[in-house]
Every structure is written in C-alpha cells, then in structure tokens.
Amino acid sequence: MSFSWLTCSLLLGTLCAGYSLGEAETRECVYYNDNWRTERTNQSGFERCEGEKDKRLHCYSSWLNSSGTIKLVKKGCWLDDFNCYDRQECVSMEENPQVFFCCCEGNYCNERFTHLPDLIGIGNRVKIRPPPRVPSLLNVLVYSLLPLCVLSLALVLALWMYRHRKPPYGHVDLSEDPGLTPPSPSVGLKPLQLLEIKARGRFGCVWKAQLMSEYVAVKVFPVQDKQSWINERDIFLTPGMRHENLLRYIAAEKHGSNLETELWLITEFHERGSLTDHLKGNTVSWGDLCHIAETMSRGLAYLHEDIPSYKGEGPKPTIAHRDFKSKNVMVRDDLSAIIGDFGLAVRFEPGKPPGDTHGQVGTRRYMAPEVLEGAINFQRDSFLRIDMYAMGLVLWELVSRCTVTDVGEYMLPFEEEIGQHPTLEDLQDVVVHKKMRPAIKDCWLKHPGFEPDV
C-alpha cells in the first residue's frame, strides 16, 4: 500500500513539476497563411515543427487590429526564441505594434491568441477570451504535492540551464575573431528574428534574419554612423532604384534610445554572400565569368543612368557608388551579380548641387589615381569614371580565378605588390608615382575572349 502511494506521488509530482515550469515540448502548431495564394501554400491546417536537436521549438500567431477588427496574418512554427520560453498561452505584450505577435510552447498553443493591454483597456470593442482556468483537482494536487514539485522543478531547471548555455542567436566564434563583437540587437519588430552575424564592415555588422517565412539581411549601424544610415536609406528610396542587379530594399528602422540606439537597414538576403566570398572559395568557368561580369556591369550602368521618368515615380537621377568593390557585390544562386552598400553613394540631380562630395572616400585599394592624388574634379562624369576604374579592378579579380587561365590563390588587386593591408602612402607610391596596375598575365591574353578587337 505504501509503495503504491509513493509511486503515485512520484508520477503526480512529475506531472505537477512539468505543469509548474510551463515548459512543454512543441511538435505541431496550428498553421495559417493569409497570403497563401501568392506564396502557393496551404491556407490553413497544422504544421510539423523541425529544428536543431538542442534548441526549443515554439508556435506563433501574428495578426492586425484595425479599429477592433481582427485580421489574422500567419500562424505556424517558430524557431528557438528566449522570449517564448515557459509561455503556454499565446499573449502579445507590446503596447501598440504595427503587427501583433505572440509565441508560446506546447502543441497547438497558438490556436488562441490575446493582446494583454486589451484586457485592461477601457471602451475597447475587442473581446479577448481569458486563459482557461486550471481545474480545481489540479490545484489540490499542486498544493498537496508542493515539496515534491519544487524538487522536481529544481532538477528540471538545472538540466535546462545546462542544455541552454548558448544564447539562441549569435553563432559567432569569438576565438576566430579577435575584434570586439558588436552588441546583439534586440528583436524589436516582430516577427523579425535575428539569427547570426554574417559580416562586419566600416559602418557596423550584417545579420542574417528571418522575417515571417523569408530570410532577410539586417545591416546594423551604431548611432554615431547615423549619417551613413540616412544616406543609404535615401539612396534606396530614390525613384527608379528597383532593378534586378541592385540590392532590393525592404525597410529602415530605429531601435533603442540614447546611447543604445541602433539603426537598422533591412534588405534581401543572399546565402552565397559577396563576390569576394565566392571567389575566395571557388573558381569560375568562362561562362560564369561572362555572366557575373555582364550582370555586374548592367547594374552599375543602370545606377549611373539618368532616367527622366520612371513608371510614374518621377525622374531617376544619376547615382555614383563611390565604394565599388567585390565585397559590395552580392551573388545570387544563379551567379547573377547584385550591387549593394550605398552608404557613400551620391546623387546628381539636374539643377541641384550633389551631396557630400569630398575626394578621398571609399576603400583605399580601389581608389582611382586621381582620388589618391587628391586631384579629382568634383563633377558628375569624374565620379562615374572613378566607379568604372574600381569595376576594372573587380574584373581583374574575376579573371584571376577563371579556369581558362592559370588559376592561383585568390588575391585582391595590388595584394602581390603591397600586401593585404596597404597604407594610403603605399597606394600613392604604386598607383600614382610608379603608375602600376595589377599584372595582366601572358596566359590570359592567349584566350580568345581576351583578344583585343582589331
């Protein structure tokens, strides 16, 4: 008799501990997609959740509230997010978001969703169903077996803390990067979920993120680089900046306040990364070289073009990039080139003075001789020629990794002459005074594609 009671107590205690902790394994979630026709998915049903072995899975719901009318946007599975831990009810806590979002743990826990401020709002016409009450029998069991529950909870919590020592975001190996890691931005705009840092640059870092069902890139600027963020955002918002070989803009946002302010620029994401990344790990065939060079040239030509009227948006002005290099050229899966990073770009609108057009800007290695010499003519055509010089260096990088030539290790322009970290004086000596250019190998000239036109 005593053995049976002890066994029963242990079983009830374990159930009680699981209930008190609030952690529930998530295997399936309610699924809904308001945009199912465009995305060619099912409209509703159930979704099987899959993820990494040592990560939690959650369910989520997102919806709009227009004057008391609820419009469901999406439901489904959500990746490991500490904001969702130990939540059995799907409740949105934000005051007045653009898109309401909630997440929870447990199978089908996103079937119902609520907005917490609506529960205390006066005169709100939206009726929110309160969370279901716990059965009274369970309350009796909780109080009667409280000591055992506390012990079980402590054991489960210790195990959970051991298994989740890593943060849910930031797959960055600090041992490989001696530099300071930028602070991990908080996930402010739901359902935008930051995943991992992909690159660091002059103005901040770039994150891979998930926006609903789409992967996006989030470029994070510290507040001291606000002007660069404003400039790049304004370039993206220029009429006519939608082109297949220019990076697609999604949004610009401000997060945090005071010294903790971060400025976000959200664009499309490309898994292959930059042309620099691609050439470091891959050689290219003659066909690949021609395709990358053609699409890159088409994008830069369009950026430089002055279009009087663009699909009713107004005129598209000439834009000079001013920091053209292989690291600022993204590569699609089909090896099409996409030009990005417009933080230093400048517009030349008829009848208006250009913006900040001081001379020595951009990456030193790709600076034209007149820029290094400080003898630049601050006119539209001068800046366009500077971009063309830089693109010539990028084409040299492409040729150096082409399989129809004598392929060696990937090297940046002038790396063989002055190393990986040249100073401004090094480049002035080589490019301006000695008038040197990256070497053209004899074997390159033997290929019919490189023969000069007669």
CA distance linking residue 186 with residue 190, whole number of Å: 11
Find the angle CA(213)-CA(216)-CA(220) to the nearest 5 degrees: 140
> What 8-state DSSP symbol labels residue 317?
P
- Residue 200 CA to residue 202 CA, distance in Å, equals 7
Q: Please, where are the H alpha helices in 133-285?
A: 136-144, 146-163, 226-236, 275-281
Local structure of 104: helix, strand or coil: strand
Is 323 an active-site residue? yes
Structure tokens at 340: 């990005």
Dist. CA 247–CA 233, nearest whole Å: 12
Distance CA 92, CA 102 (A): 5
**388 contacts: CB under 8 Å, gap ≥ 6:** 300
Specify the residue for token string 């709009």: 64
β-strands 262-268, 249-255: how paired? antiparallel
Residue 267's identity, in one-letter code, is T
Q: Report which of 112, 124, 6, 3 is spatially closest to residue 60, judged by C-alpha positions.
A: 112
Q: How far apart are CA 79 and CA 50, in angstroms?
A: 9
34, 225, 306, 323: the catalytic one is 323
Strand partners, 71: 64
Residues ≥6 apart with Cβ < 8 Å to 379: none
Which residues are known to be catalytic? 323
